[in-house]
Structure 1
Amino acid sequence: MFVSNPASVLRFKNHPLPRRSEIGATQRVPILGVPVSTVTIERAISTVGDWIGEGESRYISTCDVHCIMRARSEPNLLAAFNAADMVVPDGKPVEWTARARTDQPMTRVCGPDLMLELSKRSAETGWRHYYYGGAPGVAEDLAERMSKRYSGLQVAGTWCPPFRPMSEAEQDEEVARIIDSGAQIVWVGLGCPKQDLWMHTHAHKIPGAVSIGVGAAFDFHTGRIARAPVWMQKNGLEWAHRLSSEPSRLWRRYLVMAPQFLVLSGLETLEGKARARKTFRQTGSLDGR
């Protein structure tokens, strides 16, 4: 591919992942080793619909700065992201970084918004939802609220796993419960990294279901935690709202990990663009062909 301004375009190769089919396949932009999908929320919703129609087991990870920084030092989490069928940019810094590295259209796709939009669509399609996670009673409350908000929404079931290590037999029993429910969308609200590790291990066992890790969406949509105002969400300031709400729990995430991410990802972006310029000068093509 020839371009008039090679510095303005940086092509990253799709992350190679084994697939039973290529329905909904997306281009990936690697950010500090994590393959982030270049998607919009509209395309994500459309792809989920395609997967449900296809009848295969899939899973989507929602990835923010915290997730990427943890994956750098946790091989199991990185493996879960690499195996995911889609890794959506849940957070403005991740979106901004990815957009600086690709010419593909993409937007932030955060878990709470994805849950609302898919619930709205499901009220028309009849897709069955299962809510897995949260503190005791939260999943049931969430299912009730979603059903009231979106008339016609089909709830397959709810379950709150115990806050302790579970035996293999207990995990198998939980998965069997989800399978028996006939769920087509499984909302996993365990937070990162637990939800991603759970999906990596169990999502493929649930026939015809798309599992989606949505973290704090369970608490946001049941009113247990207040979301930032929309203007803060759109301008990348949601972190400030969350930090002020839960400083003792989130200070390290936003005051240590976030600055580290900005420096490391910025250097990685500059290095990639320098390589692209060098390749273009040598071959006349950004990918060396």
Structure 2
Amino acid sequence: MTEPAGAALPQTVNIGPVAVAAFSGMDALLNTVIKPDGTVFHGSAIAINPEKVLSALENPAINSVIQQADLRYADGIGVVKVMSRRLGIKVQRIPGCELWQQLMKRAARYQVPVFIIGAKPEVLQQTRDKLTAEGVQLVGAVDGYFSDEAALIDAITLSGARIVSVAMGSPRQELLIGRIMQQHPACFYMGVGGTYDVYTGNVKRAPELWCKLNLEWAYRLLLQPSRIGRQLRLLRYLWLVILGRI
């Protein structure tokens, strides 16, 4: 079963130009996407972190992509802290990688058909095998190197999928989702970046303690020093928050 977008959503907080929904936790967001009666939300979701907020401020095209998402949830401690201070309540961070994995478990429980897109062929195959083994009703899988977008959209439409996840990195995955939704809106769409790599063990996620301390960014920086440029942008985000511009 499916249901159109428009269900009651939590209040939002404007972080710069981005209105972010203050979900009470991951379960609340999961219940929005697949309700307890098995109906599926029509629309798309995007994880919001400080880097995306800065990109929205600096690039009107990226801001437009972000604004088109129906569900914008907080995945970034810098966003969570600002939201919590403004609302006077503790807003929960919802890591996109964890959200996708929990959504797949929920899809398996309710037998909601899923279509996955993106990643290298070998990673996609591993993802496909693992999801199938876990009981997910997988109705299609196309790697990130497809050449015929029209054929992809036809395949999604004919598959009967109700959840489509795209692992191609931002903003490419969101732009693709927007084009697919124009022709096939009766689905829930989610951009998941490198989630398939983490799910299959090809990329190691930060240890649990680092995650609990909201230090995943530091762990990734230790593993990939080349990320220093991206992390320095957090200082710009913090400065804009202090100045009241975010």
The answer to whether TM tops 0.5 is: yes
Paired residue for 1:198? 176
In 1, Cα distance between equivalents of 2:153 and 2:88: 40
Corresponding residue for residue 15 of structure 1: none
1:241 to 196, 219, 222: 219
Using the aligned pairs only, state the percent identity.
Answer: 26
1:26 aligns with 2:10: yes
Shift in Å, 1:22: 2.4
What secondary structure, in the 3-state scheme, does the structure 1 residue paired with 2:14 have?
strand
**Which residue of 2 is the match for residue 138 of structure 1?**
123
CA distance in structure 1 between the partners assigned to 2:220 and 2:107 by the alignment: 29
198-207 vs 179-188, which moves further: 198-207
Query: 1:121 maps to which residue?
Result: 106
Structure 2 residue matching 1:100: 3-state secondary structure: helix
Looking at structure 2, the residues matched to 179 and 103 of structure 1 have their Cα atoms a distance apart, in angstroms, of: 43
1:238 Cα deviation from its structure 2 partner: 0.3
Whether the 8 Å contact between 2:127 and 2:196 is mirrored in structure 1 is: yes
Per the normalisation by structure 2, the TM-score is 0.89
Q: TM-score, normalised by structure 1?
A: 0.77
**Structure 2 counterpart of 1:61, one-letter code:** I
**Larger-Rg structure:** 1
The answer to whether 1:45 aligns with 2:22 is: no
Q: Which moved more, 1:177-186 or 1:49-58?
A: 49-58
Measured after TM superposition, the shift of residue 201 of structure 1 is 2.8
Residue in 2 aligned with 1:156? 139
1:100 aligns with 2:85: yes
Distance change (3 Å), C-alpha of 1:122 and 1:146? same
How many Å apart are 1:196 and its aligned residue? 1.9
* Cα displacement string for residues 80-108 of structure 1 (whole angstroms, at most 9, x for unaligned residues): 21121101111222111211122466311
Q: Following the alignment from structure 1 to structure 2, what is the Cα–Cα distance between the partners of residues 160 and 111?
A: 20
**2:239 paired residue number:** 263
- Are 1:111 and 2:88 counterparts? no
How far is 1:55 from its partner? 6.0
Instruction: List alignment gaps of at least 5 residues for structure 2.
Output: none
Pair 1:84–1:26, CA change in 2 (3 A): farther
- The alignment status of 1:222 with 2:204, answered yes or no, reads no
> Secondary structure at 2:58's aligned position in 1?
coil
Structure 2 partner of 1:35: 19
189-198 vs 20-29, greater mean Cα deviation: 20-29
Code of the residue aligned with 1:267 in structure 2: it is L
Structure-2 change in CA distance of 1:36 and 1:133 (3 Å): same
Aligned match of 1:279: none
Could you tell me how far apart the structure 2 residues matched to 1:180 and 1:52 are?
24
Q: What amino acid sits opposite 1:195 in the alignment? A: Q
Partner Cα separation in structure 1 for residue 205 and residue 45 of structure 2:
22
Cα pair 1:38 1:105 within 8 Å, conserved: no
Shift of 1:121: 1.4
1:221 aligned partner, one-letter code: Y
**Is it true that 1:175 corresponds to 2:153 in the alignment?**
yes
Higher relative contact order (CA 8 A, sep 6+): 1
Q: Secondary structure at the match of 1:218?
A: helix
Q: Does 1:252 align with 2:232?
A: no
**Does the CA-based 8 Å contact 2:123-2:200 persist in structure 1?**
yes
| Shift in Å, 1:204 | 4.2
Could you tell me how far apart the structure 2 residues matched to 1:51 and 1:202 are? 27
1:190-243 deviations in whole A, cap 9, x for unaligned?
Answer: 112212222233234324310011112111111121100111112121001111
Alpha carbons 1:130, 1:158 under 8 Å: kept:
yes
Q: Identify if the C-alpha distance between structure 1 residues 90 and 67 changes in structure 2 by more than 3 Å, giving closer, same or farther.
A: same
Distance 1:141 1:42 in 2: 27
